[in-house]
């Protein structure tokens, strides 16, 4: 697992962002949908893989689950440990040595797969730790519409339409992206793009089948202006996030 993909260098900024922004995608869109789909039961074991500072981990624990979180960044895990409702570990996503074979009911990987290089190894380790028929819940930046440096918004003045431009899709790629928009441009991480078929094939190879798929659009609304109607329509036509549930076959 490559350490340049860690978000540890901007741990405090990212933590403040999630704590203070009440209109974030994490709080308003991703968390409510995840809680609906996870159907957390008291006493079951959940592993939040690549958990960052534990934003989602802590929310899962509030519902009575036995929750563990892990991340490659010691800086983020130190922040996560301020919450005593879950156990936290510093580790690479493809080496979950703290978790025993078939010891976990559900695993979440939230907005992290695009920053992980060795996805095949991660899925193999997830398969090892999940119980038979256990489920993996993944949230990604939508790989069909959010391709680093190969997708963008465009405006068709003749039709007064906002459209999504894609310059590549099937080709796998990696790009350096700035961690902290508007500040510290030298702090970057790697973001990996893979088409949908990559994830389906990788999961199947490691003993999973896709049991659920959802596409989530933005909850935000444009300010008043000549492009508001077109922007709001595009916002509800082009999903930002892809949710996948994968079930272990045995």
216 in Cβ contact with 243 (< 8 Å): yes
- Predicted confidence at residue 9, as pLDDT, reads 56
The answer to whether 118 and 1 are in contact (CB under 8 A) is yes
Token output for 57: 């981990």
Q: What pLDDT is stored for residue 27 in this prediction?
A: 94
The reply to whether 80 falls in a domain is yes
Establish if 158 belongs to a structural domain.
Answer: no
Domain with 97 in it: what CATH number?
3.40.50.150
**Local structure of residue 84 (DSSP, 8 states):** T
User: How far apart (Å, rounded) are the C-alpha atoms in residues 213 and 215?
Assistant: 7
Domain assignment of residue 169, yes or no? no
Can you list the residues of the chain whose pLDDT is less than 50?
1-3
Tokens linked to 2 = 């490559």
Per the CB < 8 A criterion, the answer to whether 69 and 45 are in contact is no
Select from 90, 140, 134 the least CA-distant residue to 116.
140
Per-residue pLDDT reduced to its tens digit, 152-208: 999 999 999 999 999 999 999 999 876 555 566 656 678 999 999 999 999 999 999
What pLDDT, on a 0 to 100 scale, did the predictor assign at position 185?
60
Residue 3, pLDDT score? 46
Secondary structure (3-state) at 206: coil
Give the 3-state secondary structure percentages of the chain, helix then strand then coil, rounded to 5.
30, 30, 40
Q: Give me the domain span that covers residue 219.
A: 3-142+194-224+240-248
Instruction: Please indicate, yes or no, if residue 182 is contained in any of the structural domains.
Output: no
Residue 176 belongs to some domain of the structure:
no
CA–CA separation, 146 and 78 (whole Å) = 31
Q: Let me know if residue 149 belongs to a domain.
A: no
- Position 48 in a domain: yes
Q: How far apart are CA 130 and CA 105, in angstroms?
A: 6
Cα R_g (the chain), whole angstroms:
18
DSSP 5: G
Count of structural domains, the chain: 1
SS3 61: helix
Cα 87 from chain centre: 20
């Amino acid at each position: 697992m490559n350490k340049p993909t860690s978000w540890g260098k901007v741990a405090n900024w990212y933590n403040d962002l999630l704590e203070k922004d009440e209109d974030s995608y994490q709080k308003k869109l991703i968390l409510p949908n995840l809680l609906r789909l996870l159907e957390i039961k008291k006493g079951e074991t959940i592993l939040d893989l690549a958990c960052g500072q534990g934003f989602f981990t802590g929310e899962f624990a509030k519902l009575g689950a036995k929750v563990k979180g892990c991340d490659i960044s010691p800086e983020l895990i130190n922040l996560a440990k301020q919450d005593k409702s879950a156990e936290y570990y510093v580790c690479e996503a493809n080496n979950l040595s703290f978790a025993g074979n078939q010891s976990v009911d559900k695993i979440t990987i939230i907005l992290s797969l695009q920053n992980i290089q060795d996805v095949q190894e991660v899925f193999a380790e997830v398969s090892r730790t999940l119980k038979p028929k256990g489920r993996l819940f993944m949230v990604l930046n939508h790989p069909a519409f959010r391709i680093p440096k190969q997708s963008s918004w465009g405006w068709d003045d003749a039709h007064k339409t906002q459209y999504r431009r894609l310059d590549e899709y099937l080709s796998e790629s990696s790009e350096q992206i700035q961690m902290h928009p508007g500040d510290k441009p030298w702090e970057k991480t790697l973001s990996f793009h893979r088409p949908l078929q990559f994830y389906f094939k990788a999961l199947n190879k490691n003993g999973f089948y896709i049991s659920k798929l959802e596409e989530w659009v933005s909850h935000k609304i444009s300010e008043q202006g000549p492009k508001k109607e077109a922007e709001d329509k595009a916002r509800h036509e082009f999903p930002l996030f892809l949710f996948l549930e994968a079930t272990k076959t045995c």
